[in-house]
Amino acid sequence: MIEGKISRISGPIVYAEGLDGAGLYDVVRVGGKSIMGEIIRQKEGLATIQVYEDDTGMHIGEKIICTERPLSLRLGPGLVGTIYDGIQRPLKSMYEKEGAFLKPGQVTEPLDEEKKWEFTPVVKEGDSVGPGFVLGTVQETASINHKIMVPPSLSGRFVKSIAKKGEYTINDVIAVTELDEEITMSQYWPVRIPRPYKQKMMVTEPLITGQRVIDVFFPLSKGGTAAIPGGFGTGKTMTQHAIAKWCDADLIVYIGCGERGNEMTDVLTEFPSLIDPRTGRSLMERTILIANTSNMPVAAREVSLYAGITLAEYYRDMGMHVAIMADSTSRWAEALRELSGRMEEMPAEEGFPAYLATRLAEFYERAGLVKSLCNGTGSVSVIGAVSPAGGDFSEPVTQHTKRFIRCFWALDRDLANARHYPAIGWIESYSEYADEVKNWWDKLDARWATVRQEALDLLKKEQRLEQIVRLIGPDALPDGQRLILTVAEMIKNGFLQQNAFDEIDVYSVPDKQIQILVLMMDFYKRALEVISEGAPLLKIISLPVREEIVRLKTSVPNDKLEQIQTVRTHLNQQMLEVERLYNKVGAV
C-alpha cells in the first residue's frame, strides 16, 4: 500500500508528497474523511490529485492512501433503473441510509450485493470461450435481458466449471476457466479506457425518434453522434427527453452533467410514470441515470461523461443499441476549465484548456456500431447538448464539437419564442448520415430521399423570399413565389412542429412522417400546375384540403394511416375542380 500526505490544497485540486510509486489516474483516498480522488499528474516528489467530493476543512499533512487501481465502474445486474452520481454512488441507497445530504467520504456499493438473480447458463463444461463471450443470462428487468460475459482481461479459453441454473448474488462464482480464473456476475472496468471490440462497422440504420424534423430531415444513425446546441430556454433538455422517451434504442443512459437540480428531479419523477411504447412497461426499466447537478463538485462532473459512456459500452457488448443523452457538454467543459485553472495550466481560447478538443474527441469517438468480441452487433449513439453563452455558436465548445459529430441539430431562439417545438432550425442544421441510412428508408418508402431534398430546397427558397417580402411586401410577388411561402408555412406548422401534449402528435411512425411530407409536396406541385393554367393563388389557398393536410399530424393515428389516402383523394378532387373551372374560363 502506497501512502503519502497533503502538501497543498487548491479547491478540488490537492497536491501530495510520497506517492511516487503510484500510477497516473490511480484512485486515492484523501484525508481523515477518506474522500475519493484521482491522480491526474505525477511529478517527481509531487502528485496532483482531483477530489470528487467537497474537501472543506481538509488541512496540510493529512494522510493519502493510494488504491493502486484506476477509477473503475462495477458492471453487472442491477444497473438499470438506478440513479448514480459521477463516480457510481447510488444516490437513492445513500439517501435511504444517510439522508438527503451527502457526507464527504460516504461510500455505498454501486450494486446490491445481497440480491439474488436468476442465472441461466448458455455454455457447459469444456466449451471454448474467450474475452467477451456470453456465459449465461439474467433477466435484469422485464425489458433488459442481461448477458453475463467473460471479462476482457481474462486469458482462459475453456470452461472448467459453470454454475447450474439458479439464484446467485453478484459475488458468487458462476464460472471457472482452465487457468482457475474465477468469474462472478460483476466485473470492473476503468472509465477512461474504451472497452475492446472486434470491428467498428459502417452505420446503416437510423435511430428512430418519432420526431419528424429529426427522422426525415436530419436523421441520426444507430452508432452515430449528434449535438444539440442552443441558448438558454431553446429546448435542449426537452428535445433530449423526447428522444429518450420515444427512440428505438434498447437502453438509455441519461447524464445530467452540471444541470439544475430541478431538471433531474423532473426526469426522476416523470420517467417512472412513462410507458415504453415498445414494451408497454415503465421507461425506467431500460434507463440508467447519472446525476451531477450544478451544485456538486466539479471533478465528479468531469468524470460523469466517462462513467456514462462506459456503462453504454458494457450493454453494447451484449448486442444492444444504446443511446446516451449528455446534458450538457458545455457544463462538462466548464468543469475542465475550472480544474485546469486550479492546476495553473496555460489557458487557451476563452480560458478553456488547450486539450479541450482532445477530450471532446475521446468522448464522441467512443460511439459507433461495432462487432463485439463474441461476434454480436451493438451500438452506442451519443447525443450531446451544448449550451453556448448567449446562443453564440462560434464559442469554443460548439466549434470543437462540430469537428467530431456528424449530426448538428441547431436550436433557433426565434422558433422557441414562437413556441415552435422542437425548435430545430432547418437552415443551420445538417446530418451527414442521410446517405448512409438511405437504403433503410428506401425499403420503407423509396420517395424519402427525393421528397426530403425537395422540402429542404423549398424552405431555403422561402428564407430568401422572406427577405424580399420585408422590403416590398408579399403582394408584389407573383403567385408562384407566394405559393412557396404558403407551402413552407404548411411544412413548418403541419410537419416540423410537434405537440408533446397531443397523444397522437407526440410520436410519429416513419411511414406516417413520409406520407405527410409527400402529400404536402404533391399539393405544391399540383398547385403550381393549376396556377400555370390561370387560377389565382387565393382560390387554391381557400381549398378545404389545405387545412386537412396541415391537421394530419394530429387527426390521423399511427395505426390508421389509410386515412391519409382519403385526404389525397380530396386533394385530387378539389384541384381537378379548380383546373376545370379555369380551363372553361380560358376557353370562353
Q: Classify 178 as helix, strand or coil.
A: coil
Over 60: is that where the pLDDT of 585 sits?
Answer: no
Q: Calculate mean pLDDT across residues 182-210.
A: 95
Bridge partners for 30 per DSSP: 35, 64
Q: Residue 453 has what pLDDT?
A: 97
- Selection from 388, 290, 393, 397 nearest residue 336 by Cα: 397
Over 50: is that where the pLDDT of 180 sits?
Answer: yes
Q: What CA–CA distances, in Å, run from 196 to 55, 88, 151, 190, 314?
A: 35, 21, 11, 12, 10
Q: Which residues contact 233 (CB under 8 A, 6 or more apart)?
A: 413, 416
Residue 90 CB coordination number (10 Å): 20
Q: Residue 504 has what pLDDT?
A: 94
Residue 394 CB coordination number (10 Å): 7
Q: Calculate mean pLDDT across residues 494-518.
A: 95
Over 60: is that where the pLDDT of 587 sits?
Answer: no
Over 70: is that where the pLDDT of 588 sits?
Answer: no
Do the beta carbons of residue 449 and residue 441 sit within 8 Å?
A: yes
Q: What is the tens place of the pLDDT at every residue in 343-396?
A: 989 999 999 999 999 999 999 999 999 999 988 999 999 999 999 988 889 999
Mean pLDDT of the residues in the chain: 92
**Among 39-43, 69-73, 268-272, 349-353, where is mean pLDDT lowest?**
268-272
Cell of 552: 394530419
Q: Which residues contact 524 (CB under 8 A, 6 or more apart)?
A: 458, 483, 484, 487
Q: Residue 368 has what pLDDT?
A: 96
Q: What is the tens place of the pLDDT at every residue in 79-136?
A: 999 999 888 999 888 888 877 777 788 888 999 999 999 999 999 999 999 999 999 9
Count how many residues are written for the chain: 588
Instruction: Give residue 495's pLDDT band: very low, low, confident or very high (50, 70, 90).
Output: very high
Q: Calculate mean pLDDT across residues 136-140.
A: 96
Bridge partners for 117 per DSSP: 168
Over 80: is that where the pLDDT of 261 sits?
Answer: no
Q: Residue 56 has what pLDDT?
A: 87
Q: How far is CA 18 from the centre of its chain?
A: 42
Over 80: is that where the pLDDT of 240 sits?
Answer: yes
Do the beta carbons of residue 223 and residue 367 sit within 8 Å?
A: yes
Strand (E) or helix (H) holding 573: helix 562-587
Q: Residue 86 has what pLDDT?
A: 87
Q: Calculate mean pLDDT across residues 298-313.
A: 92
- Produce one character per residue of 233-256: b if its CB has 16 or more CB atoms within 10 Å, e if not: ebbbbbbbbbbbbbbebbbbbbbb
Q: Which residue has the cell 469444456?
A: 126
Over 80: is that where the pLDDT of 274 sits?
Answer: no
Q: Residue 475 has what pLDDT?
A: 81
Cell of 211: 420526431
Q: Residue 367 has what pLDDT?
A: 97
Q: Which residues contact 298 (CB under 8 A, 6 or more apart)?
A: 12, 334, 335, 338, 339
- Selection from 86, 13, 23 nearest residue 55 by Cα: 13
Between CA 361 and CA 405 the distance in angstroms is 9
Q: Residue 284 has what pLDDT?
A: 86
Q: Residue 584 has what pLDDT?
A: 57
Domains of the chain: 2-70 (2.40.30.20), 112-185 (2.40.50.100), 199-435 (3.40.50.300), 448-587 (1.10.1140.10)
Between CA 90 and CA 109 the distance in angstroms is 8
- Selection from 62, 72, 67, 70 nearest residue 14 by Cα: 62
User: What is the phi/psi pair of residue 337, to 5°?
Assistant: -65, -45
Over 80: is that where the pLDDT of 62 sits?
Answer: yes
Q: What percent of the chain has pLDDT over 70?
A: 99
Q: What is the tens place of the pLDDT at every residue in 519-546?
A: 999 999 999 999 988 899 999 999 999 9
Cell of 413: 431562439
Between CA 250 and CA 323 the distance in angstroms is 8
Over 70: is that where the pLDDT of 411 sits?
Answer: yes
Pairing assessment for the beta strands 35-43 and 46-51 based on DSSP bridges? antiparallel
Half-sphere exposure of 102 (CA within 13 A, CB side): 22
- Please provide the DSSP assignment of 501-514 as one string: TSTTTT---HHHHH
